[in-house]
Amino acid sequence: MRDLLSGNYAIAEAVRMAKAQLIPAYPITPQTPIYERLSEMESQGTLPGVMVRVESEHSAMAMCIAASLAGVRVFTATSSQGLALMHEMLHFASGNRVPVVMGCVNRVLAVPWSFGSDQTDTLSQRDTGWMQFYCEDNQEAFDTVIQAYRISEATMLPSMVIIDAFFNSHFIEPMDVPDQRLIDLFLPQATLPERFDLNDPAFISNVVTSGAQFLPFRERAFTDMEKAKEIIREVDIEYRAQFGRGYGMVETVQTKDAQLVLVTSGSMTSTARMAIEALRDKGLKVGLLKIKAFRPFPSREVEDALQNIPKVAVIDRNISIGKEGIFCQELKSALYNSTARPRIYGYIAGLDGLDVSPEIIENICLEVLGKEMPDNLPIWVKGN
Amino acid sequence: MAHLDDFEGLTPAWCPGCGNFAIKKAFKEAMVELGLEPHQITIVSGIGQSGKFPHYVRCNTFNGLHGRTLPVATGLRLANHGMPVLAFAGDGDCYGEGGNHLIHAMRRNISVKLFVHDNQIYGLTKGQASPTTAEGTVMKIQPFGVQSEPLNPLALAVALDCSFVARGFAGDGDHLKGLIKEAMDHRGFSLLDILQPCVTFNKVNTYDWYKTRCYHIEPDYNPENRVQAFEKALEFGDRIPIGILYRNHRHTYEDGIPMIKETPLVKQPFDLSAMKGILEEFY
Ligand SMILES: Cc1ncc(C[n+]2csc(CCOP(=O)(O)OP(=O)(O)O)c2C)c(N)n1
Ligand SMILES: [Mg+2]
């Protein structure tokens, strides 16, 4: 069915159709409409799950972890400070190997206080052991929630489905909402292990007494996250076969003959598509690499895409102070031991939701094409 | 001597008719009447419409995190207990997300003055139930009504022997100003819960709703009787007492730290050479 939905509503719709059974919720801008929409569905009797209004995001994640361990499918959503407050519980979720799926709407972290998009909130959770999927538009957000349940439940690792503040969360786009029947075929009811089993009691969230005991837990999670790459690819192929849409861990646009490949994530990718087209019209050989999966990091796809590419420009809507844009860092480290060795030019743009217009992106590309060597430090794009 | 205008900050972005305007007015009047100058006091807030309070007044201010007002205020007060530290919080802020900080600030009896803009709703995030919203209240995201009993902040405070417990109403400005002054003059932690109509999102607890219920606590009431105060604190329904419910004379947290008894930390000389003799023992 065709529908007009904001990114937040698209996520809520997917959560309903995924039949999440327990949804702890706490408001924070710009994620609150997910919670409002789910409440509306609950009041109309169309939400198959139970919502619980909690006193903090920390509690929300604790409830997700516990309910997931008990064997039910769960969902929660947050942004910015709420995600930061959850941090402790995020490690707990991955450590306990629960397939929680969470909607995250990127918003700047205080201080200073503001509301616009900035991926630093989710990217600061990089090492918590969660999978992270950055979505370009509302359709992708919907599709990724459905896929994320399959991926998380197959790997027993939690996932964040991530969209940008306002550009995605509040902008309404036409999209396709599949039939419940088809979703049910793709994503059957959860068959999670009931880890609180009365007949076989177990010590959950256990304590170890030495590093020798600790290490295998992390190693196992690491290996499973590596294996998740194959599962992500397979689930996406199956999704495409069933619904006609797939995204891959990354997407490449006109990279084959490119002199310069632009790397983006999230909503600015749509703008970059326009900028690339305009530059191609001017005869410039520019391509695009969209990174969707950030954890696990799609090293193989990135390596493949950037073989024989002389220059790469990364636009980061985030910043790791003391280093550079986070996608830029990750890209560099993914390529260091590979045969693909482009020069990598880092740009910081769009913080706090500043518009990254097609002109800005075109100018970045022109600047990089005309520049022999990259700067050591990222270039800050102040916006119009 | 300061004037009211000296405490004026940016133009508020609160909704017309918001109870917060009356709180701001009462605050300014109280400060002027207490003879305080803007540079002499510090305001800490959390996040919420209440959390914007320091934007709209002029003095030393710190806009903290949602729920985390009191730890910041405590740190400030310990660094400089010669300076009045005022905390402005919301009901969601202080009774929900940051609830445990309230419990521990009351236990410690740190001399922070806490003013809670209690509109019985999350205002800034557009109208979800807060810990003080009445059970059963139907809201946008509570379609089946609030399913928990409301928190009674004043009963909690009396139970914890909080050293100053009072309630004001934004619709009774002069009375509120008096309570702010009393809270400021009290030695120890002060909790002033202020009933503050949210005209946009709370259609239940309106000015009229409060006006028909609020009454001034009788002049012969003794706020030093804790059991009686607990009973008073439980009154919240057809009649809502406003005024000082409870007061005691516990020693303050600052009093219990000999190092800062005479001089605030910030005024104490910081001289590493005093440590030299001790350090040398380890060479
Ligand atoms: C950790 C965290 N979670 C959520 C939020 C979003 N948030 C901002 S204000 C607020 C509640 C506001 O209600 P209240 O404290 O009663 O203040 P009011 O706006 O009513 O004055 C929430 C949930 C936040 N800022 N930080
Ligand atoms: Mg409130």
Domain locations along chain A: 2-190+212-243, 250-380
Q: Give strand ranges (E) for A7-145.
A: 22-25, 50-53, 75-78, 101-106, 131-134
pTM (two decimals): 0.96
Quote the pLDDT of residue B271. Answer: 81
Radius of gyration (Cα) for chain A, nearest Å? 21
Give the pLDDT score at A196. 86
* C-alpha B48 to ligand 1 mean position (Å): 5
> What tokens were used for A167?
């550009």
Q: Which amino acid appears at position A225 of this protein?
A: M
Low-confidence spans in chain A with pLDDT less than 70: 384
Atom of ligand 1 nearest to the CA of B118: 16
Of A25, A27, A42, the CB nearest to B122: A27
Token readout for A43 is: 């009041």
Q: Which of A26, A47, A55 to mutate to test the interface with B (most CBs of B within 10 A)?
A: A55
Residue B173's Cβ-side half-sphere holds a number of Cα atoms within 13 Å equal to 11
CA distance A213 to chain B (A): 35
Our CA-based measurement puts residue A55 at a distance from the nearest CA of chain B, in whole angstroms, of: 5
Residues in A closer than 8 angstroms to B65, CB to CB, are 81, 110
Residue given tokens 């292990």 in the structure block: A193
Write out the CATH class of domain B4-280: alpha beta
Which one-letter amino acid corresponds to residue A137? Answer: D
The stretch B80-109 carries a mean pLDDT of 97
Provide the pLDDT for residue A384.
62
Query: Does the beta-carbon distance from B141 to A29 stay under 8 Å?
Result: no
Q: Is the pLDDT of residue B153 over 70?
A: yes
Give the CATH number of domain A250-380: 3.40.50.920
CB contact under 8 A, A43 and B122: no
Pairwise CB contact (< 8 Å): A56 & B122: no
Name the CATH superfamily, with its identifier, for domain A2-190+212-243: Thiamin diphosphate (ThDP)-binding fold, Pyr/PP domains (3.40.50.970)
**C-alpha A56 to ligand 2 mean position (Å):** 15
What is the CA(B92)–ligand 1 centre distance, in A? 6
Q: With contacts defined as CB-CB under 8 Å, which chain B residues touch A40?
A: 140, 143
Mean pLDDT of chain B: 96
Q: Tokens 């495409």: give the residue.
A: A240
Inter-chain touch A36–B67, beta carbons under 8 Å: no
Pocket of ligand 1 (CB under 6 A): A 27-28, 57, 81-82, 85; B 47-50, 66, 90-93, 117, 119, 121-125, 130
Collapsing DSSP states into helix, strand and coil, what is residue B93?
helix
Nearest partner of A241 among A153, A147, A134, A166, judged by Cα: A147
Q: Are A2-190+212-243 and A250-380 in the same CATH fold? A: yes
Could you give the 3-state DSSP secondary structure of residue A297? coil
> What pLDDT, on a 0 to 100 scale, did the predictor assign at position B276?
86
Give me ligand 2 centre to Cα A42, in Å: 24
Q: Using a pLDDT cut of 70, give the percent of chain B over it.
A: 100
| List of residues 6+ apart from B26 with CB closer than 8 A | B168, B173, B174, B176, B177, B180
Chain segment B204-244, per-residue pLDDT in tens: 999 999 999 999 999 999 999 999 999 999 999 999 999 99
Q: What's the gap in Å between A85 CA and the centre of ligand 1?
A: 13
How far from chain centre, in Å, is Cα A276? Answer: 23
Per-residue model confidence as pLDDT tens digits over A133-181: 999 999 999 999 999 999 999 999 999 999 999 999 999 999 999 999 9
Q: What is the pLDDT of residue A271?
A: 98
Among A323, A356, A31, A67, which Cα is nearest to A161's?
Answer: A31
From B122, B126, B128, B146, the mutation candidate for ligand 1 (largest count of ligand atoms within 8 A of CB) is B122
Distance from CA of B128 to the nearest CA of A (A): 8
Residues in chain B with CB shorter than 8 Å from the CB of A8 are: none
pLDDT at A210: 85
Tell me what pLDDT residue A211 has.
82
